[in-house]
């Protein structure tokens, strides 16, 4: 029989601490053993007794900094017991202490004595998250091999909406089990119905388009399709019904995804417009050629006839058309920029009419086209930009879907509130 994972959950003082018992419960459902340590501030948000009941063990705090009779220091004993450390929620203060190796309390003392895998789920106000000091601390932790889960965009304790909300507890549970959050979702029943994408129709375009010049040549671009495929795979794992319209790429079809292959921008347009009516979320990830040759030679162009002059005509902008399609849905566009990335992104968001625009800087060799990693800034109308820091495209897809999910939940809430208001007005 496999040895159950032993998870040490460190809880610091953020409002999201109230989600700690739920995480413990999920881990225990999956066979893990869990112990908890908490800061004094965390005790103001969640009762140690609740954690004691769900873990079946005492909860560790400041009193354990003193040896408890056996002579062995508890923080050392605990590090020897556990095989992974999860810090959730992790406040800005905790991130700073971890990054700098400071240990003013039991939790940080324990973290300093720890040399195994660490998962950190930050939660804080967006201004604290975006502060250069926090970002520097996060970069230090990441460079040390710490796995960061979230934060995500969503409603915050302050009543605002922004980047700083703790990631979905299930994603943290997954990371704690050394699986991605979505593997946990796909793995067993009860978690599946947690995603707001279950049963929703998601339409994704991916890859480049090819605009033929003659029977053998085309105008194309460097898009690998990885980002779109990652989004399709992730959405499918979260229980969405996914349609993937892809240009020519050499990637394996994600399981559970219905794929349509296209070559040209015009073919992609037809495929997308055919499918958009039913879609509740659209990711227009494809790198569509802006222009196509006006004339396509029916025979291979011959070298002997000298260099051809190629006249180009503009392709329709599929994203603009999708944004205007009848019905309500969330439309996410992508933009690859090489300079003044944010300003161009904002202009594009307006021009394209989509709800979110995911902008990446393709002038950087380490991210973007054909790379396995990406870093993006997400722009939305009337909201501050959200940076999703550099990470593998699959993880980036998960972060984007978290963001979309919180947007969908918010829309549902607003819609429900509006319909109740209308009902009560009718009743009055
Ligand atoms: O204008 P630009 O090509 O930078 O815009 C990028 C976004 O617009 C992407 O989401 C891309 O899929 C979409 N696009 C489109 N049709 C085009 C060109 C771009 O849908 N002809």
Q: What domains lie within the chain, and their CATH numbers?
A: 6-192 (3.40.50.1950), 196-300+308-411 (3.40.50.10300)
Of 265, 318, 342, the one to substitute when testing ligand 1's pocket (max ligand atoms within 8 A of C-beta) is 318
pLDDT in tens, 82-123: 999 999 999 999 999 999 999 999 999 999 999 999 999 999
Report how far ligand 1's centroid is from the alpha carbon of 317 (Å): 6
Residue 41: active-site member:
no
**What's the pLDDT score for residue 427?**
41
The rounded Cα 208 to chain-centroid distance in angstroms is 23
pLDDT tops 50 at residue 185: no
**What's the pLDDT score for residue 196?**
79
Query: Which listed residue (130, 221, 360, 374) is catalytic?
Result: 221
CA atoms within 13 A on the CB side of 318: 31
Q: Report the atom number in ligand 1 closest to the C-alpha of 321.
A: 20
Q: Using a 6 Å cutoff on CB, does residue 318 contact ligand 1?
A: yes
- When pLDDT is averaged across residues 324-350 and rounded to a whole number, the result is 92
DSSP letters, 45-92, are TS-HHHHHHHHTS--B-GGGGS--SSSS-HHHHHHHH-SEEEEEEE-H
pLDDT in tens, 48-88: 999 999 999 999 998 877 765 555 677 788 888 999 999 99
Band the pLDDT of 353: cuts 50, 70, 90.
very high
DSSP letters, 205-230, are EESB--EESSSS-EE-----SHHHHH
Give the C-alpha separation, 160 to 104, whole Å. 31
Closest CA to 284 of 396, 209, 203: 203
Closest CA to 254 of 279, 282, 229: 229
**304 three-state secondary structure:** helix
**What's the pLDDT score for residue 194?**
62
**What's the pLDDT score for residue 122?**
95
pLDDT tops 90 at residue 372: no
**What's the pLDDT score for residue 238?**
81
Per the prediction, the chain carries an average pLDDT of 86
**What's the pLDDT score for residue 217?**
95
pLDDT tops 90 at residue 131: yes
Give the C-alpha separation, 386 to 153, whole Å. 8
**What's the pLDDT score for residue 2?**
52
Report how far ligand 1's centroid is from the alpha carbon of 76 (Å): 55
Greater model confidence, 413 or 282: 282
Mean pLDDT is lowest, of 180-194, 215-229, 259-273, for 180-194
Which residue's CA is the nearest one to ligand 1's atom 17? 317
pLDDT tops 50 at residue 288: yes
- C-alpha distance from residue 111 to each of 95, 105, 166, 167 (Å): 11, 10, 20, 21
- When pLDDT is averaged across residues 315-343 and rounded to a whole number, the result is 93
Report how far ligand 1's centroid is from the alpha carbon of 161 (Å): 28
Report how far ligand 1's centroid is from the alpha carbon of 380 (Å): 16
pLDDT in tens, 200-238: 899 999 999 999 999 999 999 988 999 999 999 999 888
Q: Using a 6 Å cutoff on CB, does residue 315 contact ligand 1?
A: yes
**What's the pLDDT score for residue 421?**
56
- Two structure tokens written together for 325: 């399609």
Band the pLDDT of 426: cuts 50, 70, 90.
very low
Closest CA to 232 of 267, 177, 279: 279
**What's the pLDDT score for residue 419?**
62
Q: Using a 6 Å cutoff on CB, does residue 319 contact ligand 1?
A: yes
- When pLDDT is averaged across residues 6-31 and rounded to a whole number, the result is 93
**What's the pLDDT score for residue 190?**
30
Q: Using a 6 Å cutoff on CB, does residue 317 contact ligand 1?
A: yes
**What's the pLDDT score for residue 3?**
65
pLDDT tops 80 at residue 277: yes
Expressed in angstroms, the distance from the first to the final Cα of the chain is 64
């Amino acid at each position: 029989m496999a040895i159950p994972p032993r998870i040490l959950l460190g809880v610091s003082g953020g409002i999201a601490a109230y989600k700690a018992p739920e995480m413990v419960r999920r881990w225990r459902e999956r066979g893990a053993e869990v112990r908890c340590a908490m800061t004094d501030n965390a005790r103001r948000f969640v009762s140690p007794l609740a954690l004691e009941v769900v873990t079946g063990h005492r909860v560790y705090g400041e009193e354990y900094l003193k040896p408890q009779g056996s002579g062995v220091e508890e923080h050392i004993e605990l590090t020897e017991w556990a095989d992974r450390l999860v810090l959730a929620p992790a406040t800005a203060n905790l991130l700073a202490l971890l990054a700098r190796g400071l240990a003013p309390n039991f939790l940080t003392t324990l973290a300093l004595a720890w040399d195994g895998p660490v998962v950190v789920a930050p939660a804080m106000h967006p201004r604290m998250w975006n502060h250069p000091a926090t970002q520097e601390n996060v970069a230090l932790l990441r460079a040390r091999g710490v796995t960061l889960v979230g934060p995500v965009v969503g409603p915050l304790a302050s009543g605002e909406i922004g980047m700083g909300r703790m990631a979905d507890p299930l994603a943290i549970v997954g990371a704690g089990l050394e699986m991605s959050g979505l593997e946990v979702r796909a793995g067993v029943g009860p978690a599946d119905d947690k995603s707001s994408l279950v049963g929703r129709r998601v339409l994704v375009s991916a890859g480049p388009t090819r605009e033929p010049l003659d029977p053998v040549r085309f105008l194309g671009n460097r898009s690998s399709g990885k980002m779109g495929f990652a989004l399709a795979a992730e959405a499918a794992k979260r229980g969405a019904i996914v349609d993937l319209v892809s240009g020519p790429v050499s990637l394996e079809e994600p399981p559970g995804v219905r794929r349509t292959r296209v070559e040209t921008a015009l073919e992609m347009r037809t495929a997308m417009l055919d499918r958009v009516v039913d879609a509740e979320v659209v990711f227009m990830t494809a790198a569509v050629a802006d222009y196509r040759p006006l004339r396509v030679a029916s025979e291979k162009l011959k070298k002997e006839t000298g260099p051809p002059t190629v006249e180009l005509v503009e392709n329709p902008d599929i994203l603009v058309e999708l944004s205007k399609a009848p019905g309500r849905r969330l439309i996410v566009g992508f933009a690859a920029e090489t300079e003044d990335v944010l300003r161009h992104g904002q202009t594009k968001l307006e021009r394209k009419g989509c709800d979110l625009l995911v902008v990446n800087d393709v002038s950087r060799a380490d991210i973007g086209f054909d790379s396995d990693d990406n870093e993006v800034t997400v722009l939305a109308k009337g909201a501050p930009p959200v940076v999703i820091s550099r990470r593998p495209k699959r993880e980036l897809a998960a972060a984007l879907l978290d963001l979309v999910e919180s947007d969908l939940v918010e829309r549902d809430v607003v819609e429900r509130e509006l319909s109740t208001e209308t009902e009560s007005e009718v009743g009055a």
